[in-house]
Chain A
């Protein structure tokens, strides 16, 4: 019994750095293989689930339920011609897919999978690595991943790719700010940047007694810091560059964005990076907001051993898969937003809201640390928030009704050098068949 109790203990920063080399190698290999397998399964699951949501079967030929589809797609990709277009910067062209894929995988090293277990007689935490500043690692890797986009776009020597690369990187860096800000409240409550300790900090909620039984409220930061969680969900979509925020690869506009010119396994690397990023973002969200590998509270309520031994891996995987399903669901349900809407959401909504939320949380926490009563502040803050929401809603209404006639005017008089760039008139004569020497008669006929 005491043994299970010890095993139930979560890992702390002190549990790390004592592994023998073979355990390090084993863990690294497991994480690596897990990521590759997850990509294969996610690609398959995405196509099947979206198929179901669109009332069609989805891929069902390769293997049972078509589960080998993604694997065969990969093999097929490898057997395609590796096209290096004329005039590209070869070194950078080869470097870009590597820069996209490798950092994405490294991010996963600080994600905790479970508490301390015993492998081959060694007590070791189920986590590849932890640092006193662990959460900075995924952020840093994301910012290195940006180079993959910029350089792919630049080196391809194609206007579509260049524009896609710039768009992509501008999007990622914009949403990285809101993402970074959404973490602040978590650090404020956990008092650490180490992922294993953040999970440990979410272990115990406040206990209260109902009818003689002790109940624990969920201690997840997703509940406690709900606005941070919601902001993170938005930035997660923006960072991963998937629908509804998949502007960089809006087919109708940019062919395939920054990887237009890539083929064969180089393209596969970008594809892989997207799905690995999706998994990492889900895992990070699980760790920071959903209590990490710890079992959800109704389970711990009747099963005390749920957090011991290898069980946490199950909870962890379930939570990650929930997010992955959420990603896929959104892709099936939502249309793509416009680029200006995307930037407006990132810069004008998410950033001010998260800054305001940080100020509010820190004021409340400071007063609680000083043993003040925070009740009145909560009420005042709630009133302010409601007022702000009403004001912004009214503002939007007013400015929208003002803007409409202006837009109509702007459309009427075309500026041939709008914003300093030559833009063809939106209503050019040849759209009506005038001036291309082919259909002037029909145009005149309509005019007559």
Chain B
């Protein structure tokens, strides 16, 4: 646990600084109330009303996040494999090739289905 003490110290410093700045910002600046200034910024035109129930966004973003999870998990398995690679011999290599190829099949399917297209 000793290894983590310096990280916690730096984290506390950074957090203190960030929180302090954000709080300080609301005291140091002037306060002049102005109705238009509190509107969302849209280049001077009257702000687009937020549709009730929220707007809708392309489902692409959701798909990207899903792809991210899958590949993130793959990366997480690649790291211990890479570190222990020299002790596992060819067996370790074959295992990981099988794993990567399976994920690549999924990747190729996603590509083929246009899941990677952004237009």
In-complex A–B contact (CB below 8 Å): yes
User: Would you call A351 an interface residue if the criterion is a C-beta within 8 Å of the partner chain's C-beta atoms?
Assistant: yes
Known contacts A25-B9, A351-B71; A362 and B93 CB within 8 A of each other? yes
Q: In the complex, how many angstroms separate the beta carbon of A165 from the nearest chain B beta carbon?
A: 10
Q: Which single member of A98, A129, A163, A370 contacts B6 (CB below 8 Å)?
A: A129
29 cross-chain CB contacts under 8 A: A17-B5, A18-B2, A24-B5, A25-B9, A78-B29, A80-B29, A81-B29, A87-B40, A103-B14, A105-B14, A106-B7, A106-B11, A106-B14, A129-B4, A131-B3, A170-B60, A170-B65, A173-B68, A181-B71, A184-B82, A187-B83, A193-B79, A265-B22, A339-B118, A347-B116, A351-B107, A362-B85, A362-B93, A366-B90
User: Would you call A384 an interface residue if the criterion is a C-beta within 8 Å of the partner chain's C-beta atoms?
Assistant: no
Interface of chain B residues 31 through 86 with chain A (CB within 8 A): 31-32, 37-43, 47-48, 50, 55-58, 60-61, 64-65, 67-68, 71-72, 75, 78-79, 82-83, 85-86
A interface with B by C-beta (< 8 Å): 16-19, 24-25, 27-29, 31-32, 78-87, 94, 97-98, 101-106, 108-110, 128-131, 136-137, 156-163, 166, 170, 173-174, 176-177, 180-181, 183-185, 187-188, 191-193, 255, 260-261, 264-266, 268-269, 339-340, 343-344, 347-348, 351-352, 355, 358-359, 362-363, 365-366, 369-370, 419-421
Residues of B within 8 A of A106 (CB): 7, 10-11, 14
Which 5 residue pairs across A and B have the least CB separation, nearest first?
A265-B25, A17-B2, A158-B40, A105-B14, A187-B82
**Chain B residue at minimum C-beta to C-beta distance from A368:** B86
Interchain CB contact under 8 A, B7 and A348: no
Q: A180-B72, A265-B25 are in contact. List 9 more A-B contacts (CB 8 A).
A: A17-B2, A18-B2, A81-B29, A83-B37, A130-B3, A191-B85, A348-B116, A351-B71, A365-B85
**Chain A residue at minimum C-beta to C-beta distance from B25:** A265
Interchain CB contact under 8 A, B78 and A358: yes
Interchain CB contact under 8 A, A32 and B17: yes
Q: In the complex, how many angstroms separate the beta carbon of A268 from the nearest chain B beta carbon?
A: 7
Q: Which single member of A31, A170, A174 contacts B10 (CB below 8 Å)?
A: A31
Residues of B within 8 A of A109 (CB): 6-7, 10-11
Instruction: Count residues of chain B with CB under 8 A from any CB of chain A.
Output: 68
Q: In the complex, how many angstroms separate the beta carbon of B91 from the nearest chain A beta carbon?
A: 9
Known contacts A28-B9, A105-B14, A261-B41; A159 and B55 CB within 8 A of each other? yes
Q: Which single member of B21, B97, B119 contacts A268 (CB below 8 Å)?
A: B21
User: Would you call B106 an interface residue if the criterion is a C-beta within 8 Å of the partner chain's C-beta atoms?
Assistant: no
Bound complex: CA A339 to CA B117 (Å): 11
Q: In the complex, how many angstroms separate the beta carbon of A143 from the nearest chain B beta carbon?
A: 8
Residues of A within 8 A of B41 (CB): 85, 158, 160, 255, 260-261
Bound complex: CA A261 to CA B10 (Å): 29
Bound complex: CA A264 to CA B29 (Å): 7
Residues of B within 8 A of A84 (CB): 26, 38
Interchain CB contact under 8 A, B58 and A255: no
Q: Which single member of A78, A97, A173 contacts B64 (CB below 8 Å)?
A: A173
